[in-house]
Amino acid sequence: MTLLNLIGGVKRYQQGTETVRALDEVSLKVERGEIIVILGASGSGKTTLLNILAGLDSLDHGEYLFDGTSVDSMDKNQLTELRKMHFGFIFQTYNLLDNLNVTQNVKVGAMLNDSIQETDVHEMIRLVGLEDKRDSSVLELSGGQQQRVAIARALAKKPDVLFCDEPTGALDEHTSKEILKLMIGLNEKLQTTMIIVTHNPIIANIADHVIIMRDGKIESKRENKRQEILNLDWSL
């Protein structure tokens, strides 16, 4: 079954006297295990689309199904439960807890799902390559290492979908490529569906499907064959 199915999604925002159609009749299907990259200029509606798909925001019109279940009709508690059980998040800012070490940060995220075992936490820290840092304060880590902690935290509960809003937006080229390579590896290993929002067209190379947003609409969709990210020219 199609994992995410958005049908004619409309989201409007009021800005003073003006109504902005942040999402304008957007339809999108995502299959389990895919990497989707959503590209577009600032203000094109990428974050709005991501927030709708992630159950963080609700549609004004249209329909949204997760694994065949209507998300539109869920109340606040059901949405919280949906996110807790099925979704993980990473952002441009890592949003770690500064006074906790690496393991504790991953646990805090993982505890959101009651079925998490201690071994899952350690396994995720190993998978993101931070085994030797697991007792370190997150303040001692580089930006790339902090994003690795955020990825481990998001994935420790083995979510169906990882939602990523500009995940490499604060990182340099080399570190960005390493993070993206890690994400591809984790997608292959764990089969986690990944939805990545970015304004950087190079990142589209890691996708199975690329969605181009413009003025709240999907301007185009294309299939892509995943590329080896480390070899790509970042300066284009």
Where does this chain bind ligand ADP (CB under 6 A)? 13, 15, 20, 22, 40, 42-48
Shortest gap between Cβ of 196 and ligand ADP (angstroms)? 12
Binding residue (CB under 5 A) for Mg ion from 44, 47, 147, 168: 47
Pick the closer one to ligand ADP by CB: 44 or 101. Answer: 44
Our CB check for ligand ADP shows the closer of 45 and 167 to be 45
Contact between 198 and Mg ion (CB under 5 A)?
no
- Using DSSP's 3-state secondary structure scheme, residue 112 falls into coil
As to burial, measured by CB atoms within 10 angstroms (0-12 exposed, 13-18 middle, 19+ buried), residue 214 is middle
**Least distance (Å) from Mg ion to the CB of residue 23?**
13
Residue labelled with tokens 């199915």:
5
The nearest distance, CB 57 to ligand ADP, in angstroms, is 9
Partner whose footprint covers residue 167, from ligand ADP, Mg ion, none (CB < 5 to 8 Å by kind): none
Closest Cα partner for 83 from 128, 117, 52, 46? 52
Query: Residues 6 or more apart from 179 whose CB is under 8 A from it?
Result: 144, 147, 148, 151, 167, 168, 171
Residue 43 contact, options ligand ADP, Mg ion, none, Cβ 5-8 Å cut-off depending on partner type: ligand ADP
Angle at 193 between CA 162 and CA 153, to 5 degrees: 30
Task: Report, in Å, the least distance between residue 222 CB and ligand ADP.
Answer: 18
Q: In angstroms, what is the minimal distance from the CB of 13 to ligand ADP? A: 3
Which does residue 235 touch among ligand ADP, Mg ion, none (CB within 5 to 8 A, set by kind)?
A: none
CB of 53 to ligand ADP, least distance (A): 12
Euclidean distance between CA atoms 27 and 101, whole angstroms: 41
161, 193 Cβ separation under 8 angstroms? yes
Sheet with 217-223: strands ordered across: 87-91, 161-165, 193-198, 35-40, 209-214, 217-223
The smaller minimum CB distance to Mg ion, of residues 90 and 128, is found at: 90
45 binds, among ligand ADP, Mg ion, none (CB under 5 to 8 A by kind): ligand ADP
Applying CB under 5 A, the residues found at the interface with Mg ion are 46-47
